[in-house]
Amino acid sequence: MNLNKRTDRRIQMERQLEKLALCATRIPAVEPAELTQEQRQFCKRSFQTPDPIIDLELCCNLSHKRALQTFLTTKADFAVIFEDDAIVADDLPELINTIDASGMKCDLLRIETFLDRCHFGVTARAHFGRYAAHTMHGYTWGTAGYVINRKAAQIYLDTPKMLGIIADRALWRRFPDATGIKTLQLIPAPVAQQDRFPFSQGNSDSDIEPHRKPVYKNIEKNEPVLAMLQRFWRDEVTIALPGLISRGLKKSTRGIVPFSGHYEPAKPAVTRAI
């Protein structure tokens, strides 16, 4: 998925995939000008949407939806979905070949690491060659790389309320919680967002983040009591508490999912004064 204006990201992704001999389909990302008034309702607070999203987040959600719709027009059993700021490890084709040969053993497989501490099950639930796949607990952030089957893609598209939830939260929490779709985390992971690497020094090239913070700050400042209670129930009771119990029972742990590849930032060109 790639915005028309981000030709730099498109070139970077095409070079990575060409190096790995992988052929991909570019999905033009949805832009704010394309949003309908009906879709913009997700950006307004209501009982159904206690956490309103900004228009750029809605565009991101719709871009994922567009990618899934494109997938279902094919005859493929699985699709690998990338956002255009993904860094892809050289072993990705190995994973794809394993899935093509043996199936996926789940409906939605997260192949990305956010390179910070996350919460996952101790025991692997599936193996893909030399990779292990574990259950995810708590919130898991990032939608730069995942594999999805036709069943999960169709159910996601048939669940319109997912559009009103930020993509990370929808895919890794609300969607499986609401539908029973089986999701797993691949360890190690062959995909990471470029600005998640330590040497990025926290510099984000996100098209969304600069617009998100001021809006969210205002939303939290004027948050109604009912919305606060809904958020507390969702975050602390239905997510944090089960995670705490599972850790206490030694069924899960917190740690960093390692990146399976190697990445260094491009070195700037050296210029000499004449």
Whether the predicted pLDDT of 172 surpasses 50: yes
22 alpha carbon, distance to own chain's centre:
20
Selection from 143, 80, 81, 94 nearest residue 114 by Cα: 143
Burial of 8 from C-beta contacts in 10 A (0-12 / 13-18 / 19+): exposed
Q: Which residue has the tokens 């228009």?
A: 55
pLDDT digits (tens, 9 = 90+) for 16-48: 999 999 999 999 999 999 999 888 887 775 545
pLDDT > 70 fraction of the chain, expressed in percent and rounded: 83
Residue 111: count other Cβ atoms within 10 Å of its Cβ: 32
Give CA separation, 53 vs 63, 208, 235, in Å.
15, 11, 17
- Reported confidence tier of residue 213, pLDDT bands at 50, 70, 90: low
Whether the predicted pLDDT of 15 surpasses 60: yes
Tokens of 84: 């255009």
Residue 94 confidence (pLDDT):
94
Pick the CATH number of 7-195+202-254 from 1.25.40, 1.10.4160, 3.90.105, 3.90.550: 3.90.550
Map out the domains of the chain as residue ranges.
Answer: 7-195+202-254
The mean per-residue pLDDT over the stretch 159-179 comes to 90
Edge-to-edge strand list for the sheet holding 126-128: 78-82, 145-149, 108-110, 183-187, 131-134, 126-128
